[in-house]
Structure formats: structure tokens, C-alpha cells
């Protein structure tokens, strides 16, 4: 453990630079890093890495390589638009590398805004009101991306140099496939622990679900509306298929007692119908309808197994012959953060120091890139981050006092986990 004086110097340094941190967070939000449009935000990250003297690795995701991985999410976009950035810190010359290495991960991609006019403030023009910063992606997770960097700054500003390697990862594709973090792992980035400051209400994620994305297409024989009874209405049929999927969702939820950490979660398995389109003429009975589904699965269930069950479900509906389903993104298992790791103990101590209360862990029914590190590299994945509201919604916002404390926690975690050497003045 750090001595109390060192800890105080580090957390004071977070306070001292906090205005700058918020300024940078807002700057990140001003770059609308929607899927396949992350380039300008990634360039901003590169500039930040360079300013800090980190060695920078920027590369385009490789579909051929990714697609061989069991955790790969089939993609519907061009890989050439998808670039990861990693900035790496190594202990200065003369300082022996001796602590435990660390990945500080965050995703730069954000989800669409929905109709912008529904936002109280413009989604790409962040404002601070009553202690919250508002904007698309500010909670999920640009505040976290900034916290990783400014936590590191605070350690250095307090006069310390970490003793171990730290990789700062700014990845794409977290909101749709998880291929960004997967590509970083495939490129060879590993460490003794990873911290991902997703918006988790100042808590640690103990377990989370896997997620499968798929598109269901219903297609049949259209006709003039005057003969409506003789035509197959794909929009009506789509709704019927949705009903069958809802029944599968219910069955899976009913099994939660059999899944450790999910026993008491109210509705851990959510099937979300997130997009729909169908038909081409109001007076023609629609011949096709497509809808996009995000389904969740418990840790320990292979995505392929869940996918089999989903396909069986849509095939055996009344309209089975007219229905097809294809994977369109996430194809991921869930994970559990094993209790009792050194990494978790280190985070607990840091959190206790900054919040003055014990770190709580919880189970989240959302996807997290933590699974990449946990499942495929055995790295303790600490997903821990600030209080937010309305992520994926209108008026997304993050609580600034929470961001401040989370940043302090990460800073103390860096110092304790990696070890630090006091620089001579």
C-alpha cells in the first residue's frame, strides 16, 4: 500500500488538473465518434498520447485475423474505417521495471443520438449543468477514456513514475461487435490487470452477460390491399416472430437461479428489438420486414449454443418457412470476475481511500469488453466507473464529482498496482 502522504499528493494532483480533465472530456465529446467515424476522436487520443511521451501504435483492424477468433462479431461495416490506438508507457531509463503491468482500456465509439431535436442540449456540444456534463458518449465512455489519462498524469504530477508498463487503449467497436478490444488482444497486448472505466455507478462489475446481435428477415408474397386476406403481411408476421423471441427470453430469465451472480437480478436477459424496417408502399401488403435484435446470454453459455437456440426459436414459429436470421454483430460470451484477485483487492483499497466506503460489486445485464480480457487472456478485468444517466438515451450525462473520485481511484490503483518510484527533484 501507498503511504498516506503519497496517496494525498496523488489525489491532490487529480483535483489540481480536474478542470483540464473536463475540458479534454468535452473536447472528446465534440468529436461525434459514431461507428466507422471514430477517426477524428482517435487522432485526438494520439495527440494526447504523444504529449505524454507514450509510444503510439495505431492500426487498422484486420478482418481476416479477427474472423478466426471465437469471440469475433460478424460485422456489417468496412474494416478500413476502423482504427485502434494504443499508447504505451514504460518505466524511464534507469528505473527497473518491477511492478505489475496494466492496461487502461476505453472505447471511443458512441451510439447514435436518435432525433437530435429531442435533446435538451445538442448531443455533440457538451454543457455542464448542476454537476453533470451532458452529451452523447460523455458517460459511455469518454469521461472514462479521459480519466485513464488524467489518473496517470496525477501520479506523475505528484512526483512519481510507475514501475511497470501501462498500455492506454482507445478502441473502436465496443458498441456493436467488441472487435476493437479483441484486435488489441490479437495484436499482443496483455498485462497483469485491466481497468475499464465504463459508467458503472462507482461500482465494480462482478459478472456480465454475453450478447448476440442478429437480424431477422421475414419475407413472403405481397398483394394488393384489396385482397389483403390472400397476402402474407410480413410486418404482422414479424411481430409474431418477436413474440416467439419474447417467450425464449422469458424462458432464459426463468433459469437465472441456476446462474451464479444472476440469481437476484430482476430481468438479466434482455432481448431488445432495436431497429425495424419493412414494406415499400402503404397500399401493398408488405412482402418483407427486417428487425434487429440484441439478445443476452449468461456467462458460461457459448454464444454458438445460444445462437442455435435462437435460430430454432424463429424457425419453429408459424411463419418459420418465411423467416431467416443472420448474425450482425456481437457474438460474445459473458464473464465473471473471479473473487479474491490481487487486482480486485488493490482496487478495493483505492476505492475505500477516495470514497471512504467499501467497494461494491454487482452484476450487469449489459455487454462489456471486459470479456475479451477475462475469457481469452485470463486477465483480471476491473470494469469500474462513474455515475451516469441516460446512456444510449437522450440527454446522456455523467456526474462530475463521481468522475473526480473515480479518477482518484484509478490514480491510486496505478501507483499501488504498478508500483512507483519517486523522482528526484
Residue 216 sits in the site that holds a copy of itself (CB under 8 A): no
Site string for a copy of itself, 375-414 (x = CB under 8 A): ---------------xxxxx--------------------
321 counts as binding a copy of itself under rule CB under 8 A:
no
Choices 59-67, 143-151, 331-339, 358-366; region in contact with a copy of itself by CB under 8 A: 358-366
Residue 251 interacts with a copy of itself (CB under 8 A): yes or no: no
274 counts as binding a copy of itself under rule CB under 8 A? yes
Gap between the Cα atoms of 284 and 223, Å rounded: 6
Q: Shortest Cβ distance from residue 163 to a copy of itself (Å)?
A: 37
Pairing of strands 323-331, 272-278: unpaired
For a copy of itself, give the closer residue by CB, 129 or 226.
Answer: 226
Cell numbers linked to 31:
468529436
Taking the least distance from each CB to a copy of itself, the nearer of 296 and 301 is: 296
CB of 175 to a copy of itself, least distance (A): 7
Judged by CB under 8 A, the stretch of 144-152, 189-197, 250-258, 365-373 that binds a copy of itself is 365-373
**Cβ atoms of 126 and 29 closer than 8 Å:** yes
Residue with smaller CB distance to a copy of itself, 2 or 293: 293
Residue 26 vs 391, nearer CB to a copy of itself: 391
Nearest CB to a copy of itself, comparing residues 99 and 135: 135
Figure out which of the listed residues 15, 51, 131, 221 binds a copy of itself, where binding follows CB under 8 A. 221
Stretch that binds a copy of itself, among 18-26, 86-94, 253-261, 276-284 (CB under 8 A): 276-284
Binding status of residue 248 toward a copy of itself by CB under 8 A: no
Contact between 177 and a copy of itself by CB under 8 A: the answer reads no
Which of 42, 186, 219, 402 is close enough to bind a copy of itself by CB under 8 A? 219
The answer to whether residue 281 forms part of the interface with a copy of itself (CB under 8 A) is: yes
Stretch that binds a copy of itself, among 183-191, 274-282, 302-310, 338-346 (CB under 8 A): 274-282
Least spacing, CB of residue 146 vs a copy of itself, in Å:
20
Q: Which residues bind a copy of itself (CB under 8 A)?
A: 111-112, 114-115, 118, 140, 175-176, 211, 213, 219, 221-226, 228-229, 231, 233, 235-236, 239, 242, 266-267, 270, 272-289, 291-294, 328-329, 364-367, 390-394
Amino acid at each position: 500500500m501507498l503511504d498516506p502522504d503519497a496517496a494525498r499528493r496523488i489525489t491532490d494532483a487529480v483535483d489540481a488538473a480536474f478542470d483540464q480533465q473536463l475540458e479534454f472530456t468535452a473536447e472528446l465529446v465534440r468529436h461525434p465518434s459514431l461507428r466507422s467515424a471514430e477517426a477524428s476522436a482517435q487522432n485526438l487520443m494520439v495527440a494526447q498520447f504523444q504529449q505524454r511521451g507514450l509510444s503510439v501504435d495505431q492500426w487498422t483492424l484486420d478482418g481476416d485475423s479477427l474472423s478466426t477468433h471465437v469471440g469475433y462479431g460478424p460485422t456489417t461495416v468496412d474494416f478500413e474505417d476502423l482504427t485502434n490506438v494504443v499508447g504505451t508507457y514504460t518505466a524511464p531509463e534507469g528505473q527497473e521495471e518491477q511492478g505489475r503491468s496494466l492496461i487502461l482500456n476505453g472505447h471511443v465509439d458512441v451510439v447514435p443520438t436518435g432525433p437530435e431535436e429531442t435533446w435538451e442540449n445538442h448531443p455533440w456540444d457538451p454543457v455542464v449543468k448542476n454537476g453533470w456534463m451532458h452529451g452523447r458518449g460523455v458517460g459511455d465512455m469518454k469521461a472514462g477514456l479521459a480519466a485513464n489519462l488524467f489518473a496517470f498524469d496525477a501520479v506523475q504530477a505528484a512526483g512519481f513514475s510507475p514501475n511497470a508498463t501501462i498500455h492506454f487503449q482507445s478502441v473502436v467497436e465496443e458498441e456493436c461487435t467488441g472487435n476493437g478490444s479483441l484486435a488489441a488482444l490479437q495484436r499482443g497486448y496483455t498485462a497483469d490487470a485491466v481497468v475499464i472505466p465504463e459508467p458503472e455507478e462507482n461500482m465494480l462489475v462482478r459478472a456480465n452477460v454475453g450478447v448476440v446481435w442478429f437480424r431477422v428477415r421475414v419475407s413472403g408474397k405481397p398483394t394488393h390491399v384489396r385482397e389483403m386476406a390472400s397476402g402474407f403481411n410480413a410486418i404482422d408476421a414479424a411481430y409474431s416472430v418477436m413474440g416467439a423471441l419474447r417467450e425464449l427470453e422469458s424462458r432464459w430469465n426463468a433459469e437465472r437461479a441456476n446462474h451464479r451472480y444472476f440469481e437476484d437480478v430482476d430481468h438479466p436477459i434482455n432481448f431488445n428489438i432495436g431497429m425495424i424496417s419493412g414494406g415499400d408502399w402503404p397500399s401493398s401488403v408488405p412482402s418483407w420486414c427486417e428487425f434487429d435484435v440484441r439478445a443476452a446470454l449468461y456467462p458460461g453459455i457459448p454464444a454458438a449454443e445460444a445462437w442455435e437456440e435462437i435460430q430454432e426459436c424463429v424457425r419453429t414459429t408459424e411463419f418459420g418457412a418465411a423467416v431467416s436470421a443472420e448474425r450482425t454483430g456481437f457474438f460474445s460470451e459473458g464473464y465473471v470476475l473471479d473473487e479474491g484477485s490481487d487486482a480486485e483487492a488493490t482496487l478495493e483499497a483505492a476505492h475505500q481511500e477516495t470514497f471512504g466506503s467499501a467497494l461494491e460489486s454487482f452484476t450487469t445485464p449489459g455487454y462489456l469488453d471486459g470479456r475479451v480480457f477475462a475469457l481469452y487472456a485470463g486477465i483480471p478485468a476491473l470494469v469500474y466507473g462513474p455515475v451516469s444517466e441516460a446512456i444510449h438515451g437522450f440527454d446522456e450525462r455523467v456526474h462530475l464529482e463521481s468522475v473526480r473520485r473515480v479518477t482518484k481511484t484509478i490514480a491510486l490503483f496505478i501507483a499501488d498496482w504498478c508500483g512507483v518510484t519517486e523522482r528526484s527533484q
